[in-house]
């Protein structure tokens, strides 16, 4: 990696100030950024570690029953502490990467990176979560803006994510055989006012909502309700591990399995 300045503030305010510097870059758990730096594919002048900020960490239930997770909370913590509050989300967190990744990687880091094959974006979008930053609240529907692109401004920090807890939910991930990221991952969440379905891994535009499936499942929350729906392969990712057509097909399979598992 190239040389850089390093700061490890202990408050959000200090972190925001540090990120105001020229070519400064926030560092969450480093599970994407550190390998990128080691390959010399990024050259920030300054790294601002968020891992020393206590107020970014933790899982709690808010007054209205929503689950709030600090942006600096690791996947392992979510897997453990959200298990009885939002089991589908905890299960998703428990299957990200391997133990080393889960004990370093953070929800804020994952969302800010918005890898098109990451798991968390599917949960956030399907849950209709709100991303809270140091300066504003952003609805999930507005947050994800395509592969590796989000609504975050330079220097903006995800302080927490607020998840409305659905009546039933499930995440089904079909693994890309090499990376074990999602080749296709589908998160289905059933709320009193309808069902939301979010798909990761499949689209060239990153995570997306499968609205036809949402409508069908809102009317009839059974796997059969979506068995005749087809996803258009155009716009899907086609690569070594699966064609556009295969990914489009898997979206349907994983959706049906998620509905069946959500019960």
Contact positions vs another protein (CB under 8 A)? 39-40, 174, 177-179, 181, 240-243, 245-246, 249-250, 253
Tell me the torsion sign for CA atoms 83, 85, 87, 91: negative
CB of 201 to another protein, least distance (A): 13
CB of 123 to another protein, least distance (A): 21
CB of 184 to another protein, least distance (A): 9
Q: Which residue number, 224 or 245, has a Cβ lying nearer to another protein?
A: 245
Q: Which residue number, 125 or 183, has a Cβ lying nearer to another protein?
A: 183
Q: Which residue number, 21 or 253, has a Cβ lying nearer to another protein?
A: 253
CB of 235 to another protein, least distance (A): 18
The pair phi, psi for residue 160, each rounded to 5°, is -160, 170
Contact 173, 95 (CB under 8 A): yes
Q: Which residue number, 17 or 175, has a Cβ lying nearer to another protein?
A: 175
Q: Which residue number, 149 or 243, has a Cβ lying nearer to another protein?
A: 243
CB of 35 to another protein, least distance (A): 9
CB of 118 to another protein, least distance (A): 13
Q: Which residue number, 40 or 228, has a Cβ lying nearer to another protein?
A: 40
């Amino acid at each position: 990696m190239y040389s850089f300045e390093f700061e490890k503030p202990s408050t959000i305010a200090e972190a925001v100030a540090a990120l105001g510097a020229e070519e400064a870059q926030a560092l969450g758990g480093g599970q994407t950024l550190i390998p990128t730096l080691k390959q010399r594919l990024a050259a920030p002048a300054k790294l601002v570690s968020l891992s020393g900020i206590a107020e970014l960490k933790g899982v709690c239930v808010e007054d209205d029953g929503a689950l709030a997770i600090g942006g600096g909370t690791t996947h392992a913590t979510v897997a453990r502490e959200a298990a009885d509050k939002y089991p589908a989300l905890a299960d998703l967190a428990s299957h990200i990467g391997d133990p080393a990744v889960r004990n370093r990687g953070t929800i804020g880091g994952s969302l800010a990176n918005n890898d098109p094959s990451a798991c968390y974006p599917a949960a956030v979008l399907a849950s209709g979560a709100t991303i809270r930053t140091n300066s504003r609240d952003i609805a999930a529907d507005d947050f994800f803006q395509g592969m590796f692109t989000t609504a975050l401004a330079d220097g903006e920090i995800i302080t927490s994510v607020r998840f409305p807890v659905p009546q039933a939910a499930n995440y089904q991930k079909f693994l890309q055989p090499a990376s074990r990221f999602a080749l296709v991952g589908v998160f289905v969440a059933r709320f009193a006012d309808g069902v939301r379905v979010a798909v990761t891994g499949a689209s060239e535009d990153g995570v997306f909502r499968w609205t036809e499936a949402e409508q069908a499942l809102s009317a009839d929350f059974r796997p059969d309700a979506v068995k005749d729906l087809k996803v258009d392969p155009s716009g899907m990712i086609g690569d070594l591990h699966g064609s556009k057509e295969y990914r489009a097909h898997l979206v349907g399979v994983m959706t049906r399995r998620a509905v069946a598992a959500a019960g």
